Amino acid sequence: MSTISPAKIVSQNSYLAAGRLKITEHFFTVPKDHSAPSSSSPANTLTLFARSVTKAPSAITPSTPPPALPWLLYLQGGPGYPCRPPQHSPMTQILLDKGYQLLFLDQRGTGLSTPVTASTLQMRGEEDVQVKYLKLYRADSIVKDCEAIRLALTEGEKWSILGQSFGGFCSVTYLSFYPEGLREVFLFGGLMPLVRTPDEVYRRLYPRVKRRNKAYYAKFPEDVGRVKKILSYLGRFGDGVIKLPSGGDLTRRRFLQLGLAFGGHGGLDSVHDIVLKCATDIDMFGHLTRNALSAVDGAVNFDDALLYAILHEPIYCSGKGNKADWSAQRVRDEFSEFTLDEQTSIPTNDSATETPINFSGEMVYPWMFSDYTELRKVSRVAERVAQYDDWSELFDEEQLAKNEVPIYAAAYQEDMYVDYELSMQTAAKIKGCKVFSTNVLYHDAVRSRVEEVMKGVFGLRDDVVD
């Protein structure tokens, strides 16, 4: 049985949205630390925000209310990103048509759920206090919030959950420790690697990012010279001299973080557009215009994703004695083709036949806490979190092996963010896990190719596999 206490419902207000949708905005309070709930004072609680959505009632109201629909909770990818409003989500109508009422939760620290920013984090107190506070923002705490909300919202009924990427990681944690609250689980690019530290994740990530770089330069061979021209310009007066509209430093290494987009549908094209804009500015004017700088700034902006930057590696740390210790930086030393100085030592020319410079991918590096304006304010705290090694467990393989909750997952063979082989290893360890595997969809398919991927995953549940 769950040891979690129900969340306190603070307010619930509804409105109608286009598409015949009824949106309800929910505010809840939960303990800051579920493992040590003390008083209900503001210092010991967090406010959580979620939006639910149902089909709006028809103009002719029936004499008796319709039966309550089963709940489906959506867990957003991240860590550290809020949900879009339901009326702007491409999956909403599809899931409503399947007979659910949906709950889109801003996970703790995101959106309107007691958001964590540099200023709100510093309000918590000294660095020791901030570090202890941040360790409460991983999957283990998030699923306890979910259980608390379930108990308050559904009167104890089980609900379904749908996890995208990191939301899927949270779902595996949910299956491990609170399966009694779950009716069924759907995962999209979210079969959590069952690892203790991030090192193996990054050892597999760098080769995948290299493959996406090869695909990029194969599609846009002219960008080999363009990227080198841009990096030469950025380094001409010293890395970081050029400032972005947000106030951050446009260093060469920060520019190469544009490769984060390579893992999504249309990602190669979006990076090319920025490279073309920047190279054209340099050719025409000898400098980057405001429009080009804004394009770079908006494409990869970790200032608005503080939790992502600090916790992206610790979300893989499970159990005592395991720490992140800037895993991406350490593992990069095993892949010299991603070391900027070695790449840029090659003479620059415009020939598309010369060795291209590799963009990075979903990696968090310690230097980001110098190049990004907001991240600078929490650099010392980020360092202490990176060295923290007293983490709680994030999964229970024994429980997963005897799982009885139906689980259906999409695994993408060309996923740049969540390694396919590690995903399949996880699937094999979860009893009853059914997988829709594809090599034609990328990690963001639940947004970019929603009908196709939903059909594949729900087909696992609704159809018979002989």
Q: Which amino acid is at 135?
A: K
- What was the pLDDT predicted at 340? 81
Residue 250 to residue 237: CA distance in whole angstroms: 12
Q: Which of 106, 140, 249, 415 is catalytic?
A: 415
Per-residue pLDDT reduced to its tens digit, 237-275: 888 899 999 999 999 999 999 999 999 999 999 999 999
Query: What is the model's pTM?
Result: 0.94
- What was the pLDDT predicted at 61? 61
| 129 vs 464, more confident | 129
In this predicted structure, the answer to whether residue 304 has a pLDDT above a threshold of 80 is yes
User: What percent of the chain shows pLDDT beyond 90?
Assistant: 88
Per-residue pLDDT reduced to its tens digit, 185-202: 999 999 999 999 999 999
Nearest partner of 82 among 102, 54, 108, 101, judged by Cα: 108
Q: SS3 string of 266-300?
A: CHHHHHHHHHHHHHHHHHHHCCCCHHHHHHHHHHC
- What was the pLDDT predicted at 347? 46
- What was the pLDDT predicted at 68? 85
In this predicted structure, the answer to whether residue 404 has a pLDDT above a threshold of 50 is yes
Q: How crowded is the C-beta side of 1, counted as CA atoms within 13 Å? A: 3
What's the token pair of residue 305?
A: 């994703």
Q: Which of 140, 281, 443, 444 is catalytic?
A: 443
Per-residue pLDDT reduced to its tens digit, 21-72: 999 999 999 999 998 876 667 778 999 999 999 999 876 666 666 678 999 9
Residue 305 to residue 310: CA distance in whole angstroms: 9
In this predicted structure, the answer to whether residue 369 has a pLDDT above a threshold of 50 is yes
Q: Is 407 exposed, middle or buried (0-12, 13-18, 19+ CB in 10 A)?
A: buried
What is the average per-residue pLDDT within 141-159?
Answer: 96
What is the average per-residue pLDDT within 413-418?
Answer: 97
φ, ψ of residue 327 in degrees (nearest 5): -60, -45
In this predicted structure, the answer to whether residue 448 has a pLDDT above a threshold of 70 is yes
What is the average per-residue pLDDT within 318-329?
Answer: 97
What's the token pair of residue 33?
A: 């630390």
pLDDT band at 464 (very low <50, low <70, confident <90, very high): confident
φ, ψ of residue 171 in degrees (nearest 5): -65, -40
Assess whether 14 carries a catalytic annotation. Answer: no
Of 45-59, 410-424, 441-455, give the lowest mean pLDDT range: 45-59
Assess whether 443 carries a catalytic annotation. Answer: yes
In this predicted structure, the answer to whether residue 348 has a pLDDT above a threshold of 60 is no
What's the token pair of residue 423?
A: 């995903």
pLDDT, mean over the chain: 94
In this predicted structure, the answer to whether residue 5 has a pLDDT above a threshold of 90 is yes
In this predicted structure, the answer to whether residue 230 has a pLDDT above a threshold of 80 is yes
- What was the pLDDT predicted at 81? 95
What's the token pair of residue 273?
A: 């557009």
* Helix H or strand E encompassing 105: strand 101-106
| 149 vs 349, more confident | 149
What is the average per-residue pLDDT within 375-404?
Answer: 97
Assess whether 171 carries a catalytic annotation. Answer: no
- What was the pLDDT predicted at 40? 66
- What was the pLDDT predicted at 352? 47
Residue 52 to residue 257: CA distance in whole angstroms: 35
Q: How crowded is the C-beta side of 160, counted as CA atoms within 13 Å? A: 20
In this predicted structure, the answer to whether residue 208 has a pLDDT above a threshold of 50 is yes
Q: How many helices (H) and strands (E) does the chain have?
A: 20, 9
In this predicted structure, the answer to whether residue 345 has a pLDDT above a threshold of 60 is no
Nearest partner of 178 among 422, 410, 365, 1, judged by Cα: 1
For the packed helices 420-429 and 199-219, what is the interaxial angle rounded to 10 degrees?
140
Q: Hey, which residues does 22 pair with through a beta bridge?
A: 16, 54
Q: Which of 165, 171, 327, 360 is catalytic?
A: 165
Sheet holding 71-75, edge to edge: 8-17, 21-31, 45-55, 101-106, 71-75, 159-164, 182-188, 407-412, 433-438
